[in-house]
Structure 1
Amino acid sequence: MRDALADGGRPVRIAGVDEVGRGAWAGPVVVCAAVTDLGAPPVLRGRGDRTVALTDSKLLTAAHRASFAEVLPGWLAGHAIGASAPEEIDEVGMTEALRRAAVRALEALPHPPDVVILDGKHDFLRRPWRVRCEVKADQRSVTVAAASVLAKVHRDALMADLEDSCPGYGFADSAGYPSPVHQRALEESGPTPHHRLSWSYLDDLPRWRHLKKHRDPLAGEGQLSLL
């Protein structure tokens, strides 16, 4: 599980980390940590002579993401998924929930990484992890791109599985994001057990506003009051 960079002549194990679900109204936030070896990343065959390169999951079709998700585990030296459920997001806030999900993924790797590459400007991991933040890392680093694809495919499957227990919310299509179908179901039926109840969307739903959870700034992190 060694990546291409070196530190003082010693190979450095690098983990690419990416998340999905941060802005959704329902479902968990999911983080994947991925580590590559030195081999070239997999490439998919497109139409005709065209090929599809590994990149940010948002730039790939659902079919291409699914195809990459099948081959990436065999190419990666290791990967792991971590998540924070809606209840945890409501309890501790998104930044801390995201950090916890990332730590769960990193700690589940077969070997701890020496360096973690995060997509974006902000280091939500902090110590003791050695972190390098890169804007659009999921388009510049194949390791982060792999994490992006695996996190997206994993979370989309989780949300699709909720269709039977939560019909009408369109989770298979929206993945918990505010699509018109999702918003209409919320207005008519209210939030499900899979919704984040501290999110501001409840302010716009008079029938269900009483369910909103508020973190009490005087009670300390993790304390909730139901107002």
Structure 2
Amino acid sequence: MPYEPPTHRVERSLRATIGARCVAGVDEVGRGAWAGPVTVCAAVTGLRRPPEGLTDSKLLTPLRRAALAEVLTGWVTAYALGHATPQEIDALGMTAALRLAAVRALEGLPERPDAVILDGKHDYLGAPWRVRTVIKGDQSCVAVAAASVIAKVHRDRMLAELAPEHPEFDFDSNAGYPSPTHRSALEQLGPTPHHRLSWAYLEALPRWRHLKLPSHRDASAADSLEDAGQLGIF
């Protein structure tokens, strides 16, 4: 389907209204997964014309996404990745884990951003960061779209590297998200050290239900489950 390419409209607005010279786009991947970290990318792009075909990573085929990520890592002014582990997600809840991963990414940039464009409607960063939330920012904002693609490709590769250790879970195909193969492996083998033990999937596995940890219910986690359902992975 045709789509409108992302623009620098929000970046220009932040420059004009608050004098932000360095603006980072931030996006995450892995909120709705059963296994693996939540990964955040912070990307700084300046106001240069983006590579052709840049858009939200979910709108790209895996091959196109991987090819575009290779281009983007050399095209962006700077980027950095941050992760929160399954254990940190279980201990902190998704909103706090997202913030932890995002701060790690932002602090990994060579220059502290004057402003941050955050994909979505929830500001999970907060002070002292100057945040502009943009719904569907991964489609409309160049820096967020770039962060979206880089984060997705990087995290997918991380999960694929776990596949040889746990071949029954098909991590190289599902990237830790719900799938029939993933569910079947959980029923037979139980969770691996890479699984989130506070997630609701354990409640549906009688043999392993005793491993479930208390969950942290918050708006961000609820949204991630809703997004996952819309994508057809539940």
Q: Distance in 2 between matches of 1:212 and 1:10?
A: 48
Amino acid at match of 1:137: G
Please give the per-residue CA displacement for 1:55-82, whole angstroms capped at 9, x wherever unaligned.
Answer: 0000001111111111112211100000
Amino acid at match of 1:144: V
Please show how residues 43-192 of structure 1 align to structure 2 within 5 Å.
43=52, 53-192=53-192
After superposing on structure 2, the runs of 4+ consecutive aligned residues of structure 1 that deviate more than 3 Å are 7-11
Post-superposition offset of 1:113: 0.5
Post-superposition offset of 1:38: 2.2
User: 1:19 is matched with which residue?
Assistant: 28
**Matched position secondary structure for 1:214:** coil
Please give the per-residue CA displacement for 1:109-156, whole angstroms capped at 9, x wherever unaligned.
Answer: 010111101111100000000000011000000110000000000000
Post-superposition offset of 1:13: 1.0
Post-superposition offset of 1:7: 3.9
Query: Looking at both structures, which has the greater relative contact order when contacts are Cα pairs under 8 Å and sequence separation is at least 6?
Result: 2
Q: Distance in 2 between matches of 1:76 and 1:105?
A: 15
Aligned counterpart in structure 2 of residue 41 of structure 1, from 30, 47, 50 = 50
Structure with the higher helix share, 1 or 2: 2
Structure with the higher strand share, 1 or 2: 1
Q: RMSD across aligned C-alpha pairs, in angstroms?
A: 1.6
Q: Distance in 2 between matches of 1:34 and 1:184?
A: 37
Q: Normalization by structure 1: what TM-score?
A: 0.87
Q: Distance in 2 between matches of 1:30 and 1:194?
A: 14
Amino acid at match of 1:104: R
Report if aligned partners of 2:93, 2:216 keep a CA contact under 8 Å in 1. Answer: no
Over the matched positions of the two proteins, sequence identity in percent amounts to: 62
| Residue-pair matches, total | 206
1:212 aligns with 2:212: yes
Q: Normalization by structure 2: what TM-score?
A: 0.85
Please give the per-residue CA displacement for 1:147-171, whole angstroms capped at 9, x wherever unaligned.
Answer: 0000000000000001111111011
Q: Distance in 1 between matches of 2:17 and 2:190?
A: 57
User: 2:37 is matched with which residue?
Assistant: 28
Amino acid at match of 1:91: A
Please give the per-residue CA displacement for 1:191-216, whole angstroms capped at 9, x wherever unaligned.
Answer: 00000001111011010011111269
Amino acid at match of 1:42: P
**Matched position secondary structure for 2:214:** strand
User: 1:48 is matched with which residue?
Assistant: none
Amino acid at match of 1:143: A
Q: Distance in 2 between matches of 1:8 and 1:138?
A: 22
**Matched position secondary structure for 1:213:** coil
Q: Distance in 2 between matches of 1:185 and 1:156?
A: 19
Stretches of structure 2 lacking an aligned partner (at least 5 in a row): 1-10, 218-234
Pair 1:105–1:54, CA change in 2 (3 A): same
Q: Distance in 2 between matches of 1:144 and 1:37?
A: 12
